[in-house]
Amino acid sequence: MEDFRIPVGERASEGVDWVVENLGSLFDWLRSVFVGMYESVNWVLSTPPAIVVIITIVVLGLFARGWTFAVASALGLLLIVGMDQWDNAMNTLALVLVAATIAIVLAIPLGIAAAKVRPVSIVVRPVMDFLQTMPAFVYLIPALLLFRVGVAPGIVATIIFAMAPGVRLTELGIRGVDRETVEAGQAFGATPGRILRQIQLPLALPSIMAGINQVIMLSLSMVVIAGLVGAGGLGGDVITSLNRLDTALGVEAGLSVVILAMLLDRFTSAFGERRGLYAALRKGRPAVGNV
């Protein structure tokens, strides 16, 4: 038994090497797409003066959750400016927005498919378990080989790590829609597509929004790992503080991450609560006549 060994790692390494050799141009194109998206979002966030971005976020916060949240947002963002972490925070926010958007675009259709087709669910569930439980550092090895150092491997690792709750909660939300409501739509002659769009998705929105919230939070939790592969931003400062044992820099970068996390969490939660109220009002009296 001492000599017995299953060469799983070797086979995985050979598979990655084959992909690098034969599909390198495809991954170069994907890298340019990811980097282009990141640079575009980063330009929008970093080009205006910090006060303009802060005022915009405060106004959005006022409409989303009221004066208390708006004032707290202003204080938190001004603290980031005061700690001289604004540029790093915007770099990190751009990476999170790009990675979370791609993860959501992939997760929601996959969750819908899993809810509608049982074989898809049987395959997707263990794959999502595998992707979320595998240490995120492991993703960086093939990501670095395929996408090279920079923001691209950080975005890829973030997408892989963060999309699982989006898939699961979308599937859960669709499956949780009252069967009698769906049957009422079918009785009025609605097609499956219209039932999905006008009954199941609106009623499942609270669960879907909870999944989107979790995708964003997990994306933000990956900023330190993204910093390891040259993505910069707040994650880069956290890595630098670890290497230098610089407590001050670590606290400032970490506190900036916390502020961004709280802002993103409250914004997505506010939208989910409003959509949840809308769904609750519709539940029990769906507009099947307009399906």
For 242-285, how does the pLDDT look when each residue is reduced to its tens digit (9 = 90+)?
A: 888 888 888 888 899 889 888 888 888 776 665 544 444 444 44
Q: Where are the alpha helices (DSSP H) in the chain?
A: 8-22, 24-46, 50-65, 67-82, 86-116, 118-133, 136-147, 151-175, 179-187, 192-195, 201-221, 223-228, 233-244, 247-282
* 205 domain-assigned: yes
Instruction: Provide the CATH number for the domain around residue 35.
Output: 1.10.3720.10
Judged against a pLDDT cut of 60, whether residue 287 lies above it is answered with no
Query: Which carries the bigger pLDDT value, residue 197 or residue 251?
Result: 251
Q: What residue numbers bound the domain in which 126 lies?
A: 8-47+83-290
* 76 domain-assigned: no
Q: How confident is the model at residue 77 (pLDDT cuts 50, 70, 90)?
A: very high
* 167 domain-assigned: yes
Question: For 12-38, how does the pLDDT look when each residue is reduced to its tens digit (9 = 90+)?
Answer: 777 777 877 777 788 888 888 988 999
Judged against a pLDDT cut of 60, whether residue 214 lies above it is answered with yes
* 69 domain-assigned: no
Question: For 164-193, how does the pLDDT look when each residue is reduced to its tens digit (9 = 90+)?
Answer: 889 989 988 888 888 888 778 778 777 888
Give the span between the Cα atoms of 262 and 254, in whole angstroms: 12
User: How high is the mean pLDDT of the chain?
Assistant: 82
Judged against a pLDDT cut of 80, whether residue 128 lies above it is answered with yes
Question: For 37-73, how does the pLDDT look when each residue is reduced to its tens digit (9 = 90+)?
Answer: 999 998 998 888 999 999 999 998 888 888 888 899 9
Judged against a pLDDT cut of 70, whether residue 105 lies above it is answered with yes
* 68 domain-assigned: no
* 67 domain-assigned: no
Give the span between the Cα atoms of 188 and 258, in whole angstroms: 49
pLDDT for 51: 92
Tokens of 231: 């993505």
Give the span between the Cα atoms of 45 and 94, in whole angstroms: 7
Share of the chain above pLDDT 70, in %: 91
> Averaged over 220-229, what is the pLDDT?
77
Residues 6 or more apart whose CB falls under 8 angstroms from that of 220 comprise: 92, 96, 257, 260, 261, 264
DSSP state for residue 200 in the 8-state scheme: I
pLDDT for 273: 60
> Averaged over 232-236, what is the pLDDT?
78
* 66 domain-assigned: no
Judged against a pLDDT cut of 70, whether residue 226 lies above it is answered with yes
Residues 6 or more apart whose CB falls under 8 angstroms from that of 238 comprise: 223, 224, 227, 250, 253, 254, 257
Q: Domain count of the chain?
A: 1
Give the span between the Cα atoms of 178 and 7, in whole angstroms: 48
Place of tokens 């519709």: 282
* 56 domain-assigned: no
